[in-house]
Amino acid sequence: MIRKHALAATMAIIGTATAASALQQSMSFGENWSYGGSDGPDAWSTVAPACGAGMQSPIVISGTEPAVMHRLETLYNVTPVATQNAANTVQQNYEQGSLLRVGPKVFILKEFHFHTPAEHRVLEQTFPMEIQFTHQALNGEMAIVSVLVREGRANQAAEELLPNLPIEPGQGINLPNVKINARDFMPQEKDYYRYMGSLSHPPCTPGVNWYVLKTPIEFSADQIKLIQGIVGTNNRPVQPRDNRIILDAQTQ
């Protein structure tokens, strides 16, 4: 049976009060955790206790339930290249004014960043890369749109961004005359899987709305290799499902 989108509203949204500062907090953890060694994912809870709690991300997308839900409206603007090497990833920071609308909810796009290989798996299918678009509402509620990337043709939009990715941790590059649009790093078709999770890195803030797009985009092998050469292996292992409902959105 297809559930109405109201079901999503009944799913527990945990930690909204702490989400307001989550983006700033994640940067402060940059020197105290990594994706390998003694300060890898198994040790994250020592610097960020929420990482050891339940309802974490990423997860394996499987056993989904169909539900009638709102479509994702990506009302993104063109923005200058403003990249930052945040030690464990590289991200493109976004100017104010770009919005994600999901029915009555509106979230502001803050940044997008890269994981190699991908963090989420769909029906046990793995991908070489994932791009995560981090949004925050005025009340602090967070939403992340996940775009899975497979190897294929070169991504033309990435040609403006990739040469300007900073290599050194803490380095930033700002190019006011070079413009990109985050929407160009997403598929045209935005059907999605929806679940409640967390930031997938310290501080592992809970109460995050995850929208994992069903349709992957393509990057060439060389483009993926370039990004991986900068960020290394930066995917958190998949986390327990914890009896969460994963919705297969039938958009309206």
Q: What is the DSSP string of 127-174?
A: -SEEEEEEEE-TTS-EEEEEEEEEE-S--TTHHHHGGG---STT-EEE
Give SS3 for 14: coil
List the structure tokens of 31: 């020197």
Q: What is the mean pLDDT of residues 231-247?
A: 98
What pLDDT, in 10s, does the model give residues 19-45?
444 554 454 455 689 999 999 999 999
pLDDT at 15 over 80: no
Please count the CA atoms within 13 angstroms of the CA of 5 that sit on its side-chain side: 15
- Cβ proximity of 111 and 135 under 8 Å: no
What is the reported pLDDT for 174? 96
What is the reported pLDDT for 81? 95
Give SS3 for 79: strand
Among the listed residues 121, 54, 114, the one whose alpha carbon sits nearest the alpha carbon of residue 86: 114
Phi, psi of 166, deg, nearest 5: -70, 140
What is the reported pLDDT for 21? 47
Token pair 């997860």: residue: 59
Phi, psi of 73, deg, nearest 5: -110, 110
Do the strands 129-136 and 192-198 form a parallel or antiparallel pair, or are they unpaired?
unpaired
Cα gap 124→220, rounded to integer Å: 22
List the structure tokens of 231: 């960020």
- Cβ proximity of 70 and 103 under 8 Å: yes
List the structure tokens of 143: 């939403």
pLDDT at 234 over 50: yes
Domain boundaries, the chain: 6-251
* CATH for the 6-251 domain, from 3.20.190.10, 3.30.390.30, 3.10.200.10, 3.30.70.120: 3.10.200.10
Q: What is the pTM of this model?
A: 0.90
What pLDDT, in 10s, does the model give residues 123-180?
989 999 999 999 999 999 999 999 999 999 999 999 989 999 999 999 999 999 999 9
List the structure tokens of 67: 């539900």
What pLDDT, in 10s, does the model give residues 76-134?
999 999 999 998 999 999 999 999 999 999 999 999 999 999 999 999 899 999 999 99
